[in-house]
Amino acid sequence: MRKINLIWKLRGAMELKIGRAIIRHGAEDLYEYSDVDVAIVGAGPSGLTAARYLAEKGLKVIVLERRFSFGGGIGPGGNMYPKIIVQEEALPILRDFKVRYKPAGDGLYAVDPAELIAKLAAGAIDAGAKILLGVHVDDVIFRGDPPRITGLLWIWTPIQMSGMHVDPLYIQTKAVVDATGHDAEVVSVAARKVPELGIQLQGEKSAWSEVSEKLVVEHTGKVAPGLYVAGMAVAAVFGLPRMGPIFGGMLMSGKKVAEIVAKDLAAEVHAV
C-alpha cells in the first residue's frame, strides 16, 4: 500500500512537467511555422542575412538548418585560422548587425567568426525570423501551370542520417531561398524532380575571388517562380568561380535576395 502511495505521489513530478512543456511548446512552434511567407534553407552567412532583412519587412520567415548550430562556413574561418575577411562594400551590412571589424589593408577587413555567427543569428532572430535547427530539407512542392513553388518537405537530420525511411513533413510557403552553400541542394532537387522548370545546374568553377564576389551578387535572385538562390549556391547554379575565404559577397547576396523576394511578394499581393 505504501509503495502504491509513493507512485501516486510521484505523478506530476518535475520530469513530467518538463517533458510536457517541451512537447507542447515545440509542437506549437512547428504548427505555427508550417505556413510562412518565406522559407530560407541554410543558416550560413547568406541565409541569416536574408532572414534578418526579410523579417524586418514584416514577413513571416523561417530558416531551416540541418545542423544543430548556425553559421554554416563561417566557423572554420580561412582554413581554420580564426578570422573572416570582408571587403569594404559589405561594411554597411556589418554595421547593421553591429559586427566589429579591423582594417586588414587593401580594402579588406578582418572579423571574428564567433562574433559574426552570433550577431548574424541574433539579428535574424531579433528581427522576428524563426530558426529551426536539426532539420534537413529534402524535397520541394511545385503546383500549377507554369509550376510555382508552394512548399518544402523536411525531416529531422538524425533521422535522415540514420538512413531509415521516414516520411517527411511539409511547410507551405510563398517563397523559398536556397542558401545551402556549395551544393545548392534545393535548386538541385527542383531541377531533378521538376524538369518543366528547365533548370540546368552549371556547377561551381575554380577560384577567382574578385570576379566571383561580383558575379555571385549579380546572379543572386530568382531561378523559378517562388524559388530564389543566395550565397555560394549561386555559383553552383550559374557556373561561377568560387571565391575562397572572403565573405562580403555572401552578406551582400543575402541582403540582395531579401530585397528581391520582398519586392516580388509585395507585387503579387497588389496583383491579387
Which parts are annotated binding residues for glycine? 242
Decide: is 46 part of the binding site for ligand 48H (CB under 6 A): yes
State the amino acid at position 103 in one-letter form: P
C-alpha cell at 74: 563561417
| Contacts made by residues 30-34, CB under 8 angstroms, sequence distance 24+ | 30/169, 33/60, 33/62, 33/130, 33/132, 33/171, 34/169, 34/170, 34/171, 34/172
Q: Which of 30, 33, 35, 67 binds ligand 48H (CB under 6 A)?
A: 67
Query: How many CA atoms does the CB half-sphere of 253 hold within 13 Å?
Result: 34
Q: State the chain's maximal CA–CA distance in angstroms.
A: 81
Which part of the chain contacts ligand 48H (CB under 6 A), choosing from 18-26, 93-101, 168-176, 244-252? 244-252
Distance CA 13, CA 263 (A): 51
Distance CA 89, CA 249 (A): 9
Distance CA 257, CA 217 (A): 9
Binding mask 208-237 for ligand 48H (x = CB under 6 A): -----------------------xxx----
Point out the annotated binding site.
46, 65-66, 73, 137, 165-167, 182, 232, 242
Among 111, 115, 114, 95, CA closest to 103: 111
76-135 positions binding ligand 48H, by CB under 6 A: none
Pairing relationship of beta strands 169-178 and 227-229 according to DSSP bridges: parallel
Decide: is 137 part of the binding site for ligand 48H (CB under 6 A): yes
Decide: is 66 part of the binding site for ligand 48H (CB under 6 A): yes
Decide: is 72 part of the binding site for ligand 48H (CB under 6 A): yes
Nearer to ligand 48H (CB atom), residue 67 or residue 148:
67
Nearer to ligand 48H (CB atom), residue 47 or residue 147:
47
Nearer to ligand 48H (CB atom), residue 144 or residue 202:
202
Q: How far is CA 267 from the centre of its chain?
A: 23
Q: Which of 73, 113, 151, 226 binds ligand 48H (CB under 6 A)?
A: 73
Binding mask 140-169 for ligand 48H (x = CB under 6 A): ------------------------------
Q: Which of 54, 59, 64, 121 binds ligand 48H (CB under 6 A)?
A: 64
Q: Dihedrals φ, ψ of 226, to 5°? A: 85, -5
**What number of chain residues touch ligand 48H (CB under 6 A)?**
28
Decide: is 180 part of the binding site for ligand 48H (CB under 6 A): yes
Nearer to ligand 48H (CB atom), residue 151 or residue 181:
181
